[in-house]
Structure 1
Amino acid sequence: MSSPGTQVHHLDGVRILDLFAGPGGLDVAAHFLGFKSIGIEWDRNACETRYAAGLPTIHADVSVMREKRFDEIPKSVDVLAGGPPCQSFSVAGNGAGRRALDMVETFIHRLVDGEDEAQIDEELHALGDPRTALVLEPLRWLLKAIETEGREPYKVIVLEQVPAVLPLWEVYAKLLRGGEGRLKGVKYEAECWELKTEQFGVPQTRTRAVLVARLPGHGAVEPLEATHMPFDLHRGRRNAAQADMLPTDSAISEAKQRWLSMAEALDAASELEDSPVDVSRLRTGGETTFFVVSNYGSGGDPKNRGRRLSSEPAFTVTGKISRNKVYKDIAAYEADRYDRFTIPEAGVLQTFPHNFPWSGNDQAQQVGNAVPPRLGMHVLGRALRGNAPTDEELAAATTWPSVPRTTTDELRRLGCGDQSQCPPESHKVTRSRQESAP
């Protein structure tokens, strides 16, 4: 496995194209499995994190890249991956995507049937949330590859989204198996599932809808095998005064490990060399004990903030994780003396390496938007080579290799160049920042 940033030619041997790449959850997973990737990302801040991490990136809009710059994608790419923005489908969003699921399904069929794309785009944009249309981009990228001379259909397709999108992934899978219309007889073995992240060693409860498709010849796509037990979300109400209550292990199968807790993950990260994670502020008598009060309400009541113990997995890590209140003990709670998770700590709860070089602004949002790399390793491992990551690969994934500043600069030139092809005004500097510059 090569270290990111050590290649003289950064695009040599790239196999995976990561649409909507964010700070690099899938790319980090690919790296630790020994595969090289390139991401397309429109957010400048996420691009800065990617450059600092040594991840090849094109700072662009996914749709613009497909329509006008498709020839810039290396021909060595044979894996299409991505997680389209989920806000319009998310429970936390305004629900435009959920209400439009049936309509979006018709657009999927219309695209494959060869209807006019300009008309489809016009109708999509009228749905109320333009991000809803982005769930169609992976299909459009596949059709573009099939219809472009000198290109081959992607050998593997890996997509992930919030659970509400599972019905659309099922439509995708059915069409990919059929190979009709613009697919021109190209057929895939395709399956999709709902996966719970804590069942794959992520110290966080988060459910994702995942699709994996492969061209025939590599056997059927088999379901992923969970390595950990699920966390019981319905174990009854409790309040902060019950923070000494710990979950029992009585129902845990010998074949699977118990889910990983926040304390276990953060303690392990804090013990690594030169770690930016330091949970000593949350320790009592040498043991890391705290509880988290969510920024979000629960049970339909915005004032009823959910709570998790340090001995449990975290809530779903969102872009608002820095608003969660972390209390060391009951006395701190009663005095309203709370802490916050740092960005490295939030990254660890997403299973990013402890020393991942978060950069740019809006870092909490970057962390929350990302695919948990450990889940990505399981999904990509199954999709690309038919097996789960090894214990050695998972152990290595806790530390990110150092990336020279020269490599970061080279990748920024690769991704942004003279900035003329980057998303409009994405590099705009405000007057206040100009005035404060040294």
Structure 2
Amino acid sequence: MTSTVPQQSFLDRPFVLDLFAGPGGLDVAGHELDIPSLGIEWEKSACLTRYAAGLETLHADVSAVRRDAFESLPPEINVLAGGPPCQTYSVAGHGAGREALEEVKQYIHRLVAGEPDEAIDEDLKKLSDPRTALVLEPLRYAIRATRSRARANRPYDVIVLEQVPTVAPVWEHYAKALRDKGLPDGTKYEVTFGVLATERYGVPQTRSRAVLIARRAGLGQPSLPSPTHRAYEPKAWNHRIASGENPVHQPTLDDDAEARGRGKKADEDLPSWKSMGEVLRDRVGTHPGRTTPFLVRSNYGSSGIPGRRGVRTDQQPAATVTGRISRFVVFEHLDENVVHEGARFSMNEAGMLQSFPPDYPWSGTAQAQQVGNAVPPAFGMHLLSAALGLPTPDTQLLRKPWQAATEDQRAKSRSHGCGDAGACTERCPRPQDQVPPPSSRPRKKASVK
């Protein structure tokens, strides 16, 4: 699958290091842009998916690689990317990251001031949830690059970060530190950040992400990617349903009047967002196609209409795809009261709703969680293109079935990633180390937004 996008990046040879790489969303995006990448991921099943997909992988702890194996990373890497685990920042989690936000900001100050890693590591042990500290790893990698003998102390040229919207204040503090203070060696960056809706970039689901794009000073001011599709307006859609209008009516230019009334700019020249039906309708690869109209009942609400809570039609984008995607119930008779408890999206379909190519080789256990945790590849293509100064990408490339790696290719990838062609080794993270200790505080019930 070779991209037809012309390479016009200001970097001669972009090479991405993808921290917390998951099953490969950003790496798939890079693949379609002909940009090589190396992903670091510590969850075994996600690595098995990556090996099956033929993606360059290290089965390792991101923090451990920075401490102990940074010099072994390819020195030509010039783009740092990552989406640190979000559980402690997510509105659906315990909230340890939100409570520790001010403390995290102080760690950012200490890092750019050049404090020793040992002192910072010792203090980080005091955090109630160790995953909260992982949001600092991209900054620590950026600093480590300027102290690397293998890299001749060369900083990364570009940094691309994405996470749940509640991490936006952290990215804002990152931006101030990178732009105003700079790294301890004096390297500064031009930075832009914001919260973007993925349906505006061709992803068939409503999903908001806080993103940051930074370029080393002298490489030009970065900008966020320009939307290619209109925003989904749930209130306008549900108003039509409550009024008895056609529930499969696609938005028109007139439907943007409500958005204009709220002060939002109408995207009059952009096509509508992509719907579930549009993405799943056609037969492609092993996907048989869904030609019958359907409803989907998810775990999410529907803008205050109690009778249709958590229900969307095939003419709407999916609700945010999370690890609960396997629980979404699909009704093919357009009547949510007719229960078909066995009807679920296949993992292939769930991946397609995340904009992964059909037949992406989901492997190992907890596949639904892998799908939900991934960066949508279509969104990743837009992020990388904007960061590198490439033209707007053709995300239709993601509609082609993915060619899985051969057994020999998987063995070679695993030999590099784990140290053995057929199994994990002592250098791989242990499963018991991958589960943080439970919080001693009682769990607070939180709504999902």
Q: What range is the shorter-chain TM-score in?
A: 0.7 to 0.9
Which stretches of structure 1, 4 residues or more, deviate above 4 A after TM superposition? 236-244, 296-305, 425-428
Equivalent-residue separation in structure 1 for 2:382 and 2:130 (angstroms): 31
SS in structure 1 at match of 2:365: coil
1:402-433 Cα offsets, whole Å, 9 max, x none, are 422211110011000141100024799xxxxx
1:174-201 Cα offsets, whole Å, 9 max, x none, are 1111244x53110111111111000011
Equivalent-residue separation in structure 2 for 1:427 and 1:131 (angstroms): 12
From 407, 410, 415, give the equivalent of 1:408.
410
1:37-93 Cα offsets, whole Å, 9 max, x none, are 010000000000000000010000000000011122111111100100111111111
Pairing 1:424–2:436 present = no
**Contact 1:41–1:62 (Cα < 8 Å) also in 2:** yes
Structure 1 residue 150: deviation in Å? 3.6
**Contact 2:199–2:232 (Cα < 8 Å) also in 1:** yes
Q: Name structure 2 gaps, 5 residues minimum.
A: 4-12, 257-266, 435-449
Equivalent-residue separation in structure 2 for 1:244 and 1:336 (angstroms): 23
Equivalent-residue separation in structure 1 for 2:205 and 2:133 (angstroms): 29
Equivalent-residue separation in structure 1 for 2:24 and 2:33 (angstroms): 14
Which aligned pairs between 1:180-219 and structure 2 lie closer than 5 A?
Answer: 180=182, 182-219=183-220
Equivalent-residue separation in structure 2 for 1:2 and 1:404 (angstroms): 18
Structure 1 residue 246: deviation in Å? 3.0
Equivalent-residue separation in structure 2 for 1:386 and 1:47 (angstroms): 29
State the AA in 2 paired with 1:223.
Answer: L
State the AA in 2 paired with 1:200.
Answer: Y
Match of 1:124 in 2: 124
TM-score (norm 2): 0.84
Match of 2:338 in 1: 335
CA shift in 2, pair 1:176/1:45, >3 Å: same
Match of 2:283 in 1: 271
Task: Kindly report the root-mean-square deviation, in angstroms, between the aligned alpha carbons of the 2 structures.
Answer: 2.7
**Contact 2:295–2:331 (Cα < 8 Å) also in 1:** yes
Structure 1 residue 112: deviation in Å? 1.4
How many residue pairs get matched?
405
From 375, 379, 401, give the equivalent of 2:379.
375
SS in structure 2 at match of 1:358: coil
1:108-153 Cα offsets, whole Å, 9 max, x none, are 1111113343343343333322111100000000111112224210
Equivalent-residue separation in structure 2 for 1:245 and 1:276 (angstroms): 26
Which aligned pairs between 1:34-433 and structure 2 lie closer than 5 A?
Answer: 34-151=34-151, 152-180=154-182, 182-235=183-236, 236=238, 245-247=247-249, 248-249=251-252, 250-251=254-255, 253-267=267-281, 270-272=282-284, 274-280=285-291, 283=292, 289-296=293-300, 305-331=309-335, 333-338=336-341, 339-389=343-393, 391=394, 394-395=396-397, 398-418=400-420, 419-425=425-431
State the AA in 1 paired with 2:166.
Answer: A
Equivalent-residue separation in structure 2 for 1:239 and 1:361 (angstroms): 39
State the AA in 2 paired with 1:278.
Answer: G
Q: Name structure 1 gaps, 5 residues minimum.
A: 4-12, 284-288, 429-438
SS in structure 2 at match of 1:409: helix
Match of 1:434 in 2: none
**Contact 1:44–1:427 (Cα < 8 Å) also in 2:** no
**Contact 1:243–1:309 (Cα < 8 Å) also in 2:** no
1:198-239 Cα offsets, whole Å, 9 max, x none, are 001110000001111111333211232101010013334798
State the AA in 2 paired with 1:219.
Answer: G
Equivalent-residue separation in structure 1 for 2:244 and 2:328 (angstroms): 19
State the AA in 1 paired with 2:338.
Answer: A
**Contact 1:319–1:369 (Cα < 8 Å) also in 2:** yes
Equivalent-residue separation in structure 1 for 2:410 and 2:50 (angstroms): 8
State the AA in 2 paired with 1:264.
Answer: E
